[in-house]
Copies of this chain bind each other. A is one copy, B any other.
Amino acid sequence: MKKILGTTLLLLGMTVFGQSKEDSIQFSKISLEVLNNGKGYNELRELTKNIGHRLSGSEAYEKSVKWAEQKLRDAGANKVWLQEVMIPVWVRGKESLHIKTSNGSWKSLKMLSLGNSEGTNGKDVSGEIIMVKSMDEYNKLTAEQVKDKILFFNYAFKQSFIETFKGYGDAAKYRTTAASLTAKKGGKFAIIRSLSSAFDDVPHTGAMRYEENTSKIPAVAIGSTTADELEALLKNQKITAKLNSNCGMKGEKLSHSVIGEITGKKDQSVIVVGGHLDSWDVGEGAHDDGAGIVQSIEVLRTFKKLGIQNNHTIRVVCFANEENGVKGGIQYGKFVKENNEKHLFAIESDAGGFAPRGIALDMDQTKRKQIQSWSKLFLPYGVYNFEEQFSGTDLYPLHDMGIPAAELMPDSQRYFDIHHTEEDTFEKVNRRELLLGAITMTQIIYMIDKNW
């Protein structure tokens, strides 16, 4: 028995070694193809420079739908289609925020209304600013103190986390809840310090939510240095803020997610790779999430170009409306359920086009361990982290249906300097970093397609 076991282990070992060598050769082919011939970077230039930012509901978003359709065909998808999605239409319009110091002079502050926020309908709304630096400080304020005031939530993004997504998660509640918290205590509007890892004057937008049964008052964001200056001013004087804005929800609209696939040779169970096609209405939506879109298209092109015969259907989904409604992700989940389509795996890239460091795994332990057992293959590509983590907003409906979900984990250091700002431009994306992300996604999909 001992000998037989030895032999069996040896044979197993050889098989694993043989497999592993074949896989490592395939990994290398994928990498060479993408680094030498990848089109993702030039495609991102087109998307960001020819179309620019593309909030769902905008004309630009509709242009990006046509663009993505064409790119998927060019990449070799044998089937490309649009999936209908009803999306909320939020429009920013003109907006301004001024403060008056005790000497009576008005000063304009650089600001952005938060996404989905209502505005002031073009009228001046003003009041005295009260600053809180934490939820604790907010909780101590009485309705009497807040009535007719402007609440300034000056909570600083924590620099102390190594993964900046943790800092973002920690601060996010201020963005989502500031308006309703202010309204509950009778305030006129809310100002928040941006969810920003940078010490600059760039305001960051992003989605907020209104609680039910609270009045829909405006919420705006200011940059870190403006927040610091305002804090300094408030130390020794009363400051009045005046907001004038036109933003607001303008109903719904029919729009589309864009889908393209290479049908599987063995069966038609589906492997999804995607990103979101929409962006906020500032900057160019380059890292968020033009990067994820062009990387996903690159995966498909690389399979075609290398002639890898995929067993299962590899499907690129360019989700609509991730930023201010997630209607594309929700609709795709419904579609899968209604059509009873078997899905093996889904991965999204929506954390920026930076050099990849890992793949976040959101699935049962068995599947996770299997993927982790492949980790050595990824190490030469700088990809070493295969932890259990949240898999990305658009995939959540799939995850809830029990489908193994994953997200590309790029280096997170620079993302929240530019996330949801005018600074999220093509120039901030490095060609090699972007392509490395596409390589990681192609490699993991190659492994899933082969082994699952």
* Residues of chain A at the chain B interface (Cβ within 8 Å): 31-32, 35-36, 159-160, 162, 164, 197-199, 355, 357, 380-382, 384, 411, 413-414, 417, 430-433, 436
Contacts and interface: CB of A to CB of B under 8 A. Distances in A.
Given A197-B432, A355-B411, 18 more contacts: A31-B160, A31-B162, A32-B160, A35-B159, A35-B160, A36-B159, A159-B432, A162-B380, A162-B381, A162-B436, A164-B432, A198-B431, A384-B384, A413-B430, A413-B436, A414-B430, A414-B432, A417-B430
A171 to B, nearest CB: 15
19 contacts: A32-B160, A35-B160, A36-B160, A159-B432, A162-B380, A162-B381, A162-B382, A162-B436, A164-B432, A197-B432, A355-B411, A355-B413, A357-B382, A413-B430, A413-B432, A413-B433, A413-B436, A414-B430, A414-B432
A116 B381 CA distance: 36
A160 B431 CA distance: 13
Contacts of A160: 31-32, 35-36
A201 to B, nearest CB: 15
Nearest to A35: B159
The complex is assembled from copies of this chain, and their number is: 2
Nearest to A32: B160
Contacts of A430: 413-414, 417
A373 B237 CA distance: 57
Contacts of A436: 162, 413
A355 B32 CA distance: 24
A380 B160 CA distance: 13
A12 to B, nearest CB: 28
Contacts of A355: 411, 413
Contacts of A432: 159, 164, 197, 413-414
A411 B436 CA distance: 12
A403 to B, nearest CB: 29
A98 to B, nearest CB: 30
Given A380-B162, A381-B162, A413-B355, A431 B199 contact: yes
A437 to B, nearest CB: 11
A199 B41 CA distance: 11
A197 B436 CA distance: 14
A62 to B, nearest CB: 31
Contacts of A159: 35-36, 432
A32 B164 CA distance: 14
Nearest to A33: B160
A21 to B, nearest CB: 18
A211 to B, nearest CB: 33
A438 to B, nearest CB: 13
